[in-house]
Structure 1
Amino acid sequence: MRIAVEDLSVALAGRTVLAGANLIAEEGEIAGLVGPNGSGKSSLLRTVYRHLRPSAGRVLLAGRDLAELRPAESARHIGALPQERGGDFELSVREVVAMGRTPYKRAFAADDAEDRRITAEALARVGMAGAAGRRFAQLSGGERQRVLLARALAQQPDVLVLDEPTNHLDVRHQVELLALLREQRRTTLVALHDLNAAASVCDRLHVLHRGALVASGTPREVLTAELLAEVFGVRAAVVEHPLTGDPLIAFDHRAPAAAAAAEAEAEAEAAAPGR
């Protein structure tokens, strides 16, 4: 399903944290949100999975305004892995993942054979099938992250909304998760801090800065040295990944952020008309 964000603004405690954002994730596309901390990524995602109400604008799911859908209906179409964690600590891993079946069931209805099959398959997809009987509270941070992703997959949604899904994961499981997202070919909105991960997995990137959408395009179009200096305040070179051909960002860890920003500003002034 196609997701469209139209003129979306979000205010928290009277302060605008996102203003007039417009973006589209086409059916089957992985659309990434990148930007510094506090740029509005999580606020945008929370409006898509209906944890927040926008102060202006709207989110369309296959052309329908999400605000007009019943919560259970939207939950059948949109599965989320948020940053905030629920109070699932007394449940088993299997019980946590089975919660993804809730939108399809009557209140207090027991799991049937189909629910159990889907739950088991979701656990297997994230490599946690052997932990089904363990307590969620006993898991490491990375294991919990994989279980919560399995819960979102168990919803069998048309759209996945993932807020920093690689948090707490070791390198192997980060790579496996990104490969899983590519394999799913499900419409996906994902916020990532790791720009190289974003470049490798996303079809399109949307860059947020200070609550505004400042760039959209393919990773190769968006991830330029100039944008990295202006938005992230870092000095970097963008080269070709030797294994995949994706853009690969090489950061200069010796250059202070202020120097990178000043360099970008000087380059922009030099390129301005009349100079």
Structure 2
Amino acid sequence: MRIEIEDLHIAYAGRTVVAGARLVAAEGEITGLVGPNGSGKSTLLRTVYRHLRPIAGRVLLDGTDIRAMAPARSARHVAALPQERGDDFELTVREVVAMGRTPYKRAFSGEDATDRDIVSRALADVGMGDHAGRRFTALSGGERQRVLLARAFAQNPDVLVLDEPTNHLDVRHQVELLSLLREQRRTTLVSLHDLNAAASVCDRLHVLHDGTVVASGSPREVLTPALMAEVFGVRAAVVDHPLTGDPLIAFDHRTAVGPGPADAVEKTRTGA
């Protein structure tokens, strides 16, 4: 399924946080949102999984306004991994993941063999199959993150919406998770702080700055030294990764820079 965001405006307490955002997450591709803290990435994602209602604009799922769908129907199509992790679950790992089957169940209906198979497979996919009986609250931050990703997989969605999914994960589990996303080939809309991870895993990137999409295109088109200076305020070089050939951003950790030339970001719009 394809996600289209049309002229989205979102406000908190009378203050506009996202202004006129337009972007597309193509079917079967991983589409990344990147930008500085406070640029509107999480806020935008919350409208896609219906946690927030925009003041204007629409989120379309294969051409249908997601707000026009019944919640259970949209939940069968879109699964989310938000930053708010629900640390207070007094449930076992298996029970948490089984919550992903809720959109498919009638009231008071129990778990069946299909549900059990899907839950087991989702746990195995994230490397938590041996922890099904543990209490969720007893897990480390990284383990909880993987369990909640398994819950999203258990929804069997067409679209995954992931807000900083590599938070709390060590390097190995970050690599495994991003590889798993590539293997899934579901339509995926993901926000990432790690620009090199975004360059490696995403088919297309949208850069947010002050609530506006300022650049769109492939990672190689978007992640330029000019954009690094203009949007992120850092000095950087972009080279080819010696192992994968992906764009690799080498940051100057000694020198911050101010805003770049006024047209630096505008030039990256040609990738849209």
Task: Give the TM-score normalised by the residue count of structure 1.
Answer: 0.94
Taking structure 1 as reference, are residues 89 and 226 closer, same or farther at Cα in structure 2, changes over 3 Å only? same
Contact 2:87/2:137 (<8 A) preserved: no
Unpaired runs of at least 5, structure 1: none
1:89 Cα deviation (Å)?
A: 2.1
Taking structure 1 as reference, are residues 63 and 200 closer, same or farther at Cα in structure 2, changes over 3 Å only? same
Taking structure 1 as reference, are residues 267 and 101 closer, same or farther at Cα in structure 2, changes over 3 Å only? closer
Counterpart of 2:162 in structure 1 is 162
Letter in 2 for 1:265: P
Deviations 1:23-45 (A, max 9, x none): 00111010000000110000110
Letter in 2 for 1:118: I
Deviations 1:198-249 (A, max 9, x none): 0000000000001111000000000000000100000000000001100000
Aligned length: 265
* SS at 1:181 equivalent: helix
Counterpart of 2:15 in structure 1 is 15
* SS at 1:265 equivalent: coil
Counterpart of 2:182 in structure 1 is 182
Aligned with 1:261 (options 258, 262, 265): 258
Counterpart of 2:94 in structure 1 is 94
Whole-Å separation in 1 of the counterparts to 2:35 and 2:107: 40
Contact 1:225/1:236 (<8 A) preserved: yes
Counterpart of 1:55 in structure 2 is 55
Is structure 2 residue 129 aligned with structure 1 residue 129? yes
Counterpart of 1:153 in structure 2 is 153
1:13 Cα deviation (Å)?
A: 1.2
Contact 1:164/1:193 (<8 A) preserved: yes
Counterpart of 2:39 in structure 1 is 39
Whole-Å separation in 2 of the counterparts to 1:85 and 1:29: 25
Counterpart of 1:199 in structure 2 is 199
Letter in 1 for 2:258: A
Whole-Å separation in 1 of the counterparts to 2:263 and 2:75: 47
Q: Structure 1 stretches (4+) deviating beyond 6 angstroms?
A: none
Whole-Å separation in 2 of the counterparts to 1:30 and 1:87: 27
* SS at 1:151 equivalent: helix
Letter in 2 for 1:19: A
Task: Give the TM-score normalised by the residue count of structure 2.
Answer: 0.95
Deviations 1:153-200 (A, max 9, x none): 000000000000000000000000000000011000000000000000
Unpaired runs of at least 5, structure 2: 268-272
Whole-Å separation in 2 of the counterparts to 1:198 and 1:28: 16
CA RMSD of superposed structures (Å): 1.3
